[in-house]
A and B are shown apart, each in its own frame.
Chain A
């Protein structure tokens, strides 16, 4: 009798447990995304002492797979110049303008990109610098020439650390939690950035998330820059006035010395 009661209670408990479990399972399927990610700071502030900064990206995935994180800066037109020797002196003799170039591009992955995603997938999501840069239209240059200009553009962007040469590491802690550091150098362009996180398994994107990130000048530097661009003539007058006063002060110091 007593035994039967115990068994009954256990069964009921088990049933209740199973019920909650399955409810959870349903909730998971219905509400939880396969990928959740966030960054430690949504604003990179360029202030007086700014010499580059790290932003931590962290998140979790539902199941085993690979994670790719890509950071893209605001798109801008970039003019490239090519020098050639004229009378012994190196002079810019040709120029070419690329439209809509991401002003910053960095990528990090939990495994080599080639292993995670095939070429078509990488091309579609612009995973890797070779896919991130636009090509010149055929009207502007033949295919070979265009390739040279594009390679030169990438080389220049890499030299200025705007396109880090290395693919960063996304580190997994266990099977589900991951983190990576995104580095922004001292000369990082300002504007609205997109941090895109992809969860990829078996050559398929299972989850993706875009997190906005703002890079902007803050404090006195920002005010000076904005003022110089929006109220240029007044900025000029103030610059002259500051110089006149500074010169007068210098003169006063001189006389005493």
Chain B
């Protein structure tokens, strides 16, 4: 059954979209990630204009983060102070990011930049995941030495130190502020919640305990994604609410099965598997960049 998407201005099969949402929901249920970083490339593969895919995905991220954060909030896994500092940076970053997006769109380079950022980030994350997964699989057999909670680096010499009680950290507010800004810019350009960048950054750069990382990142992602949705809608008119709702419906159902499936499967093997999926998607995008196009000329109406 074809459904006409009013903002994307094309008809797509509603079951394909539900299925896509379902697969992403399944993955996010299994792996506990947002899945936005896979959804946007897949939307582009099925013909949704990249600008619409990115903006709509931001809208969908709002919904999926809300349902995620509520569960974490109840368990007390949200560091509100850290979340607010990240958020301040995120708001500034995403607002600047949408303006950059509009500028690139006028220059006719937005598709390239979206594609390129995905290749770089998916490639990096995918390789890291595969390495971590493989190392963890090996480590289970031979127990290695325990790592320190976090290492002290130049980061800890910066001014404006603030105590983050829940994260058991005493660091400069400039660090989470600038991380928030960077992720904000990326979430505007790539339409992702930024969880797949924010989570590693919080663990490795800030040294936050893993238990509060997910809840806190989801907390700040809601507001950043909402900010992106608002500015994309205002400046570029590229948010397709109909598409977002269909994808979300599929994702909710998929996540139901995903969570049950995920608890039965070994987590290290899962991480390895997700890493491989990410690398495949990245490879496909990279191929599009380097393969000779069917026609070196392309057009854009308006």
Contacts and interface: CB of A to CB of B under 8 A. Distances in A.
Interface of A: 46-51, 76-84, 88-92, 95, 103, 149, 152-153, 155-157, 159, 186-187, 189, 217, 220-222, 224-225, 228-229, 232-233, 235-240, 242-244, 246-248, 250-251, 253-254, 257
Contacts of A246: 63, 245, 248
A135 to B, nearest CB: 16
A49 B5 CA distance: 10
A84 B11 CA distance: 31
Contacts of A257: 256
A100 to B, nearest CB: 13
Interface string B259-272: 10000000000000
A88 B287 CA distance: 11
B169 interface: no
Contact of B60 (A103, A224, A243): A243
Contacts of A225: 6-7
22 contacts: A47-B4, A49-B1, A76-B302, A78-B301, A80-B298, A80-B299, A81-B298, A83-B293, A83-B296, A88-B290, A90-B290, A90-B291, A103-B301, A224-B6, A224-B241, A225-B7, A239-B233, A240-B230, A247-B62, A253-B256, A254-B71, A254-B256
Nearest to A220: B6
A230 to B, nearest CB: 10
Contact of A247 (B65, B293, B297, B299): B65
B256 A233 contact: no
Contact of B248 (A76, A88, A95, A250): A250
B289 A89 contact: yes
A156 B297 contact: yes
Q: Chain A at the B interface: mostly helix, strand, loop or mixed?
A: helix
Contact of A82 (B63, B259, B297): B297
A239 B244 contact: yes
Nearest to A238: B241
Contact of A254 (B67, B234, B241): B67
A51 B1 CA distance: 10
B226 interface: yes
Interface string B14-38: 0000000000000000000000000
Interface of B: 1-4, 6-7, 9-11, 59-60, 62-68, 70-71, 108-109, 112, 116, 226, 229-235, 237, 239, 241-242, 244-245, 248, 252, 255-256, 259, 289-293, 295-302
A235 B298 contact: no
Given A49-B1, A49-B3, A250-B248, A228 B233 contact: yes
Contacts of A91: 109, 112
B108 to A, nearest CB: 5
A243 B63 contact: yes
Contacts of A81: 108, 297-300
B5 to A, nearest CB: 8
A228 B233 CA distance: 7
A159 B108 CA distance: 20
Contacts of A48: 3-4
Contacts of B232: 236
A91 B259 CA distance: 41
A46 B9 CA distance: 10
B237 A229 contact: yes
Contacts of A80: 297-299
B191 to A, nearest CB: 13
Contact of B59 (A88, A232, A239): A239
A96 to B, nearest CB: 9
B64 A250 contact: yes
Contacts of A89: 112, 116, 289-290
Contacts of A251: 66-68, 70-71
